[in-house]
Structure 1
């Protein structure tokens, strides 16, 4: 009996070894360094088209990358030292220009890496490394001057001056609102991400300046909450409630009023958050206020 068991185990082990060897031989026979059309990336990807658009159709170039050519080349000059790779004797490195374009296109349209492969001529595996690396370079380079939250009264007053000049609303540091981003919900969570609009989403609460610039944003909040409930879960709201935003004091503001952020009806009225009056039984002054707030 024991001899038969040992024999069966030995036979199974030999079969496993033989199967592994066959798979190894097949894998070696099928493997290659890369696909030929990846090696001819400059011929088959979007780069020739972009060069044509840059020279003859700048508006289409802007539509493709969501920015003008001078802005793109300024970013490219800033990021090149951080995303350049060394050319080796085995293959040419993907250029910083191609890396930045692939990342911008991914961020602009949200296409899958498998789909993006046919536009960029870069494999999904490489894109999975290139896009996070380029995003890290964007944060590293731009966080000092652009990707940072305002931290002193003088900077807030500059934003308030823009609102006052452009939209006739004084003492305003920004507009608060939320955007539903459609998602495929994770499994086994039921209606956790199902919103009142009738689809599954996460919410992106944001604060925006008078020139449509993002001052703050957060992503990933549960969409079942209202916009007011979502903003209450953010760091921005905690800083606002705790007085850590360093807003200008009332004596430095127009008419000695509080420094505020404006929002729609879904948000709660607060010391530094202004919302419109309910749309019923409005007196003329309240109507004018609602108009000005809506315009801001």
Structure 2
């Protein structure tokens, strides 16, 4: 195929999840419903926490941050997909695609960091309860949030700049429903060795390090809880961690499923379907997990409604 420089690329084509026109209205209804539920659910979490003074704690501060991040990630992906289905237009501009890649990387990176920070918060609350308010002071909470945002933004900008230096072939069809980093790199005609190395390094930093931190935090949490003399104390300690564990399992479980599916199948469309499971589904279910499993959140919802 004849290669052309990236400056000549005006747009990419997002092939979506299926070519069948009969399924397009169904997909539009499905993803519109998922998007509305995601926005409404996470907004209710934010409103409930802000309206109840009892929830003005580090745990719920990070929960609000996670909800804002989930809304942002869904908004980065879903509206463009819905517009393309509605207009029956698969195109996305070069800069639009690059921007989508950048923002998706920012918010996915933030999701990883926030889940690790929330695990650390639970570790301090259970293993050092008398020093919890001293350690998890407002200044540290804000610094942890800003540091997570800084790391995610630097990583996203680095990948975006690496894409800018690539040249692309005449085939600019992305077998996906949004601009994801890996499918775009596969379209490049120039050497992508450095980009692939950078992806593996970023994966280790933004998936391996937070997940390791979460695992070590819960090892200490379980060890501390088992030493508690009363069963009521054990139940209360585990109940405060249950919602977070469910969210972690959902996010990393679906992400691992995407990795396995892309490794075992040669079909890019199957990988695209699997990507729905970690970019849209956890963000939609997180509010339900926290509201259904958390007594304080239930009470806050009752007051709000």
What TM-score, normalized by structure 1, do the two folds share?
Answer: 0.25
Answer 1 or 2: higher relative contact order, Cα 8 Å, separation at least 6. 2
TM-score (norm 2): 0.24
Q: Pick the structure with more helix per residue.
A: 2
1 or 2, which has the higher strand percentage? 1
Structure with greater Cα Rg: 1
